[in-house]
Amino acid sequence: MTFARKLLMGSAATVAMLVANPALAQSNDAEIEALRAEVAALKAQLAELSAKVEKAAAAPAPVAVAGAEAKPAAEISWKGAPEIKGEGGWSFKPRGRLQIDAASIYPSDSIATDSLGTTVRLRRAQFGIDGTIPGGFAYRVEADIGGSSVELTDMYLTYKAGKNLSFTVGQHKPFWGFEELTSDLFTSFNERAAFHGAFGFERRVGLSATYAGKAVLLQGGVFADNAADLNGDGSNNSRSFDGRIVFMPKWGDTQLHLGASAHSHRFNDFSGTARYRARPFTRTTDTRFVDTRTFAANGEDSFGLEAFINHGRFHATAESHWLTAKRIGAFADPTFNGGYAELGYFLTRDSLSYKGGAVDRTKPSNPLGKGGMGAVQLNARYDWVDLSDAAIVGGRQQTYGVSLIWTPTEYVRFMANYGHLELSDAAVLAGGDGDYSADVFGMRAQIDF
C-alpha cells in the first residue's frame, strides 16, 4: 500500500470518529464544519498526489544515453586509412598504393630502339580492401589500374586454424623466395632482382597452407594459372606445386633468416612454349637486353636459396634461383640462373622491420613532422641473370647498383637508384655487338595506405 493511500485512510478515519461523537459535534458545530472543509481539501490533494506517485511507479526505466562509458558499435583506428572493427571479429579497411617512376637508360653504343632514354611511368596504382570475418576468416581484394587496363593482383580468402596454421584460397603468390614475398612497398631498389622478372614469377590462383612457428616457417600449395590467363571452358589445365621452408631464429637484436624453395610447373596443354627475358634494372622500358626468345617447352622446375641477416642499422641479403625448362623433343633441358647479394645501412637511428619471412614496413624513429627527418637508408647490390645454357643463348646481364631511400613517414617513400649493367651475348645488339654496358638512373615517389 502506498504512502498516499495510508495517509488518506488515516484522515478519513479521523473524520469518521468526529462525526460519530454527537456530543462533540453539538458542542462545536462550527469547528467541525471547518475541519470537514479542511479534510475535504486534504483529500483532494492526497488524491492528486496518489495519482502522480502511481504514474511514476508505472513508468518504464529511463534509457541510458550513450556517453563516455558506453561501448560503441564499431571501433575506428587509423593505419594509413581508417580501419573499422566491429563485434565478433568483423573488420574492414581500404588499401592502396601509388608509385611514380622516372628513369634514364644510356647504353654504351647505339641501339635500334626508341624505348630507351628518359621516361616517366605510373608504375603502380593499386586499390582494394581487406578485412576479417567472424570464425577466423580474412580476405583481400586488390587491383592495379596503373596500366592501360585493370589487372587483378590479390583476391583471396584466408582461414586461420589455430595459433600457427592458416589456409589461403584464391589468387596469391606461390612461395618464390625472400624478395618476391617482400611487398614492392618495402624493397631496397625500385625493382626486384632481374631473375624475378626473367623467370615469370607472378600471382596464381591456388590453395595453400602456412605454418608459422616462432623460428620455423613452412609454406606449400598447389596452383593453376594467373587469374587473367584462366577461362571458363576448362581448357586451361596449367598446374604447379610450390613449397618453401624458412629457419628464422632471433638472438637479441639480431634476426637471421635461412630459406629454400622448390617449384614444379606444367604448362597449359594449349601453350607449349617458354620464353625468359629481363628488363634492364627498370620497368620504364619494354626493351629486354637478355632474351631467350620463344622455344618449345611444356613445363619448368626450379629451386631457390635465400639468406638474410638484420642487426641494428645493418642488413645483408643474398638469394639465388635455378630454373630448368622442360623442352619438347630430343633437346637438352637448359638450366638458367639468377640471383643477387646486397648490403644495406641506415644513416639514421632506424632498422629494417622483419615479419613472417619477409621485410616489412620501416617505421622511422623520428618521422618528419614530429621533430625529425625520417629514415635514410643506403644500399649496394650485385645482381645477375644468366639465360644461356645448352642450345639456348639468351645472354647474361650483371648489374652493380646503389640506392638511397628516404622514408619521411611510414607511409611515404622516395628512392633514387643507379645501376651499371654489363651485358654479354645480349639478344639486343648495341653497335652490332652483343657485349656492351649500360647505365641506368631511376627515381620513385611512393605513397600507400
* Position 41 confidence tier, pLDDT thresholds 50, 70, 90: confident
| Predicted confidence (pLDDT) per residue in 97-117, tens digit | 999 999 999 999 999 888 899
Please name which of 305, 307, 343 lies closest in space to residue 322, comparing C-alpha atoms.
Answer: 305
The secondary structure of 133-166 as a DSSP string is ETTTEEEEEEEE-SSSS-EEEEEEEEEE-SSSEE
Beta strand ranges found along 36-73 (DSSP E): none
Phi, psi (rounded to 5 degrees) for 35: -65, -40
Q: How many residues does the chain have?
A: 449
Among 227, 204, 338, 228, smallest CA distance to 279 is for 338
Strand blocks (E) in 1-144: 74-78, 82-86, 91-107, 117-133, 137-144
Topology adopted by domain 92-448: Porin (2.40.160)
Q: Are 301 and 264 in contact (CB under 8 A)?
A: yes
Record the cell numbers describing residue 431, joined without a space: 653497335
Summarised one tens digit per residue, pLDDT across range 83-99 is 999 988 999 999 999 99
Give the burial class of 314: count Cβ atoms within 10 A of its Cβ; 0-12 exposed, 13-18 middle, 19 or more buried.
middle
Q: What are phi and psi of 34, to 5 degrees?
A: -65, -40
Between CA 302 and CA 339 the distance in angstroms is: 13
Tell me: pLDDT of 281 over 90.
Answer: yes
CA distance linking residue 261 with residue 385, whole number of Å: 18
**pLDDT, tens only, 10-32:** 544 444 444 444 444 444 566 66
Q: In the predicted model, is pLDDT for residue 296 greater than 80?
A: yes
Say whether pLDDT at 282 is over 90: yes
Exposure on the CB side of residue 301, measured as CA atoms within 13 A:
4
Q: What is the mean pLDDT of residues 282-309?
A: 97
pLDDT at residue 73, rounded to an integer: 75
